[in-house]
């Protein structure tokens, strides 16, 4: 069974909320809830992109080839290369959604990439501490996890957007059901009545022809 597009988007948005561990008060609608407007998205995207920019020179200080020489698994090199590429793609995603903030799927994809990046980075920080420099690992971690407000606001924006789309779809469903109900309650045209009307029309047409 296929989910409706708006409902599917809502499910994905809620999943995003769980992954990013947004505080409960930000996930629950309340009297003081302030929706995030689409006009704020370019600023939020720019702040997240700036985080990626700050991480680039720190990534340049990581030398996984030296780790392997010390006995570390070679897989760390491919993992670190993947993180470097993810960091670059995050900036591309943020540039795209800054131009088109109404694209809910694009915003969710960008959030998913940020989430994946954070998870992969966290799993590799221990290797930096072990094979290279604990201070460098701490610095990278502090920049990556320092200010999450932009990510949280962007996440709230996509949740609001998904909820708005779902509400609109609900209104459309209710209107369609109302129309179907009106049609269903129309009295049926009986066969005998239909034949009588047809016969009367035919006789009138014949009389006119004479």
Burial class of residue 179, CB neighbours in 10 A (0-12, 13-18, 19+):
exposed
DSSP 111-161: HHHHHHHHHHHHHHHHHHHHHT-HHHHHHHHHHHHS--HHHHHHHHHHHHH
Secondary structure (3-state) at 74? coil
CA distances from 44 to 38, 51, 146 (A): 10, 11, 15
Q: What is the pLDDT of residues 115-163, one digit of tens each?
A: 999 999 998 999 999 999 999 999 999 999 887 899 999 999 988 887 7
Looking at the chain, how many residues does it have?
210
102 pLDDT band, cuts 50/70/90, is: confident
**DSSP at 1:** -
193 pLDDT band, cuts 50/70/90, is: low
Cα–Cα distance, 40 to 161 (Å, whole number) = 13
113 pLDDT band, cuts 50/70/90, is: very high
Predicted pLDDT at 26: 41
Say whether pLDDT at 84 is over 70. Answer: yes
**DSSP at 23:** -
Nearest partner of 98 among 148, 139, 62, 45, judged by Cα: 45
At 32, phi and psi to the nearest 5?
A: -100, 15
- Higher-pLDDT residue of 197 and 151 is 151
Cα–Cα distance, 163 to 29 (Å, whole number) = 11
Return left, alpha or beta for 186; rule: phi > 0 is left, psi -120 to 50 is alpha, else beta: beta
Tokens 């779902």 correspond to what residue?
A: 166
């Amino acid at each position: 069974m296929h989910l409706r597009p708006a409902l599917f988007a809502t499910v994905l948005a809620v999943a995003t909320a769980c992954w990013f561990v947004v505080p409960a008060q930000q996930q629950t609608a309340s009297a003081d809830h302030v929706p995030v407007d689409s006009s704020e998205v370019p600023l939020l995207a720019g702040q997240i992109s700036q985080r990626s920019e700050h991480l680039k020179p720190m990534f340049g200080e990581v030398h996984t080839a030296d780790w392997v020489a010390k006995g570390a698994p070679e897989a760390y090199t491919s993992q670190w290369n993947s993180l470097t590429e993810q960091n670059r793609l995050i900036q591309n995603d943020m540039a795209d959604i800054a131009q088109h903030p109404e694209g809910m799927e694009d915003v969710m994809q960008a959030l998913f990439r940020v989430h994946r990046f954070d998870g992969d980075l966290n799993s590799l920080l221990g290797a930096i501490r072990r094979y290279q420099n604990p201070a460098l690992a701490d610095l990278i971690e502090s920049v990556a996890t320092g200010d999450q407000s932009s990510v949280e606001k962007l996440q709230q924006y996509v949740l609001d957007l998904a909820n708005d789309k779902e509400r609109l779809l609900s209104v459309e469903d209710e209107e369609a059901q109302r129309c179907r109900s009106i049609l269903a309650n129309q009295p049926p045209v009986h066969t005998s009545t239909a034949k009588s009307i047809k016969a009367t029309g035919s006789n009138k047409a014949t009389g006119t022809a004479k």
